[in-house]
Amino acid sequence: MSVPHSPIHTSRKEVSHQVNKTPIDKPSINSTMASSVDQGNLNPVEMAGKQTVGESDPTIVNRTRNALGDIGNRLIKNGATATNVRRKNRLGQLLPNMSNLTKKPTDVAGKSTAAIAKVTGVIRSTSNVSSKPSGALMPQRQRIAGTGVTRSQSFGVRSKVISKSQPTLVKVEEKDIGGTKQRVQFCQKPSSKGSVKVEPTIAEKDETKPSTSTSRAVATASVERDLNSIIGEIKAFSIERYGNGFPDIDAKDTGPFMLKEYVKDITEYLFNHEKLFMIPADFLNSRHVTARMRTVLLDWLVEVHQQFGFCAETLFITGKLLDRYLLLDPTVSRTRLQLVGVTSLYLASKFEEVQTPTMVDFATVSDNAFTSSDVKEMEKKMLTALKFDFSAPQPVFFLRRFSKAASANVVVHNVAKYLMELALVDYSVCHYFPSQIAAGSLGLSLMIMENKPLVEMWNPVVVHYTKNSLSDLKPLLLLLVQTLSRVYEDPTKFQAVRTKFSNKKVFRVSTIPQIQVSVWKSRVLAELNTL
């Protein structure tokens, strides 16, 4: 038998042509279907539309329309056989002639029935005994376990098998049986007397696939356990690092830029990170560049920094880049030292500032001692030597944090900033970490501006947040006393920082009466000797 042309590959024009080609008459309902089918005038689709459920025509057996909506919805019981049926599928094409069926399927009682081929090729029968016509190209069927549904392997179409003795699933509910939740199926099962019974049965558990509610509960419990474990670790970590008896100085902070949720972790990170950029003491020994040359250069860079209007972080980044490069390159000559300093300021401004002056501006500010091409070449050399690492922490950040912990007022804070910039220029304190310089500057500022002993002001809260006790800061405090005294005792040298902090924006802290050496030096030295 030749394989019939699949309706899937039929174009719309062919379907329309074949439908228009087939004559359709509308016989009356009272005429028999057998004679209509024999004459070939009655379209089964028209017949299905005319005949309704419950009509008394004995030749029609009502069948449920399946999911595809094909025309195999009614069976010819007595008046017609499979040899003279010419039907159309849902696309209007004639189905293959069934005259080659050599054996008709029969039920248990021996009554003949007709098998109607669907578009999918699934044979449907009203009996429990099914037969497969010989010579017909039919796909194999699979029976789905536990259901009355068959699946065509070739098309994946499901069709419900009609059986008088097979129960029909009505609904599935979850019930508590024996302390465990189990799924209960309510099936509709016809009895021998024609009545219908709904009987509950316990559904078989699928051990390989748990229920959705069980999976969700297990996942939720797992997430809660992980979350509680993480919270416990965070609390233990916070108590170990920050202590459990000190006030939280960030509790009253508001606004997204205060970062009160992360500032403790940021501070701890910077405390550890500053140790990677340590500058050794007296690192300029046996070099072409001396300590005095470094001091003169940085004092001039403070003036350039103020002239360009850069922020405080840019100045401290400049000093750190200069010291790091001088440490790495011992061949820097005196004639190239100013170029290294200007390039350091140029790199720091590119890293920190919003708007950066051009290379020509930096070359011009040096009174054309070098060109912009020289700045570019030195920039390449410094970036290569420093490995493009600009992440060294700055003492400005630590000072803001420590002033907050000590509850220092704005004047004390600005005096501490003044001392930090003096320490930047001074070669004798360049080997201290930024956090130590910030803590020492704040301690000396408190001693100068407050009429209290430093022991009282440097309380355990300040020690906790600065990580520096007074005994640790004593050597640095003595050096800062000498640095500040030198500025006022010899007013002809290194006055750039003093001039900068005589501005009213910083409360003129370099000119206030309390900063005069004769007012505070003897008192501070006496207190430091008792520590």
Query: pLDDT 10s digit of each residue in the chain, 531 long?
Result: 444 444 444 444 444 444 444 444 444 444 444 444 444 444 444 444 444 444 444 444 444 444 444 444 444 444 444 444 455 555 555 555 544 444 444 444 444 444 444 444 444 444 444 444 444 444 444 544 544 444 444 444 444 444 445 566 666 777 777 667 676 666 666 655 554 555 555 444 444 555 566 777 777 777 877 888 887 777 666 666 555 578 889 988 888 888 888 999 999 999 999 999 999 999 999 899 999 999 999 999 999 999 999 999 999 999 999 999 999 999 999 999 999 999 999 999 999 999 999 999 998 998 889 999 999 999 999 999 999 999 999 999 999 999 999 999 999 999 999 999 999 999 999 999 999 999 999 999 999 999 889 999 999 999 999 999 999 999 999 999 999 999 999 888 889 999 999 999 999 999 999 999 999 999 999 999 998
Question: Which candidate, 404, 399, 397, places its Cα nearest to that of 252?
Answer: 404
State which amino acid sits at residue 515: I
pLDDT value, residue 200: 54
Q: What is the pLDDT of residues 188-240, one digit of tens each?
A: 666 555 545 555 554 444 445 555 667 777 777 778 778 888 877 776 666 66
426 phi and psi, to 5 degrees? Answer: -80, 125
β-strands 158-160, 168-177 pairing: unpaired
The helix/strand/coil state of 161 is coil
**In degrees, to the nearest 5, what angle opens at C-alpha 17 toward C-alphas 11 and 20?**
140
- pLDDT of 291 reads 95
Task: Select from 320, 338, 317, 316 the least CA-distant residue to 328.
Answer: 320
Q: Token pair of 218, please? A: 């297990």
**What is the torsion angle, in degrees rounded to the nearest 10, for the CA atoms of residue 330, residue 333, residue 334 and residue 335?**
-150
Q: What is the pTM of this model?
A: 0.57
The answer to whether the beta carbons of residues 344 and 328 sit under 8 Å apart is no
Q: Comparing C-alpha atoms, which of 22, 29, 21, 23 is closest to residue 48?
A: 29
Torsion of CA 209, 214, 219, 224, to 10 degrees: -160
Kindly tell me the sign of the dihedral angle through the C-alpha atoms of 455, 458, 461, 467.
negative
Question: What pLDDT sits at residue 199?
Answer: 52
Condensed to tens digits (0 to 9), the pLDDT of residues 357-401 reads 999 999 899 888 999 999 999 999 999 999 999 999 999 999 999
pLDDT at position 425: 96
pLDDT at site 186: 66
Instruction: Return d(Cα 47, Cα 281) in angstroms, integer.
Output: 107
Beta carbons of 320 and 392 less than 8 angstroms apart: yes
Residue 440 pLDDT: 97
- Specify the pLDDT at position 108: 41
**DSSP conformation letters of 76-140:** E-SS--GGG---B-TTSPBPPP-TT--S--B-TT--B--PPB-TT--B--SSS-----TT-----
Give the residue among 346, 335, 330, 338 at the shortest CA–CA distance from 379: 346
Give the residue among 389, 390, 399, 388 at the shortest CA–CA distance from 267.
399
43: tokens are 């379209």
Instruction: Kindly report the three-state secondary structure assignment for every residue of 256-297.
Output: CCCCCCCHHHHHHHHHHHHHHHCCCCCCCCCCCCCHHHHHHH
What gap in Å lies between CA 171 and CA 464, rounded to an integer? 68
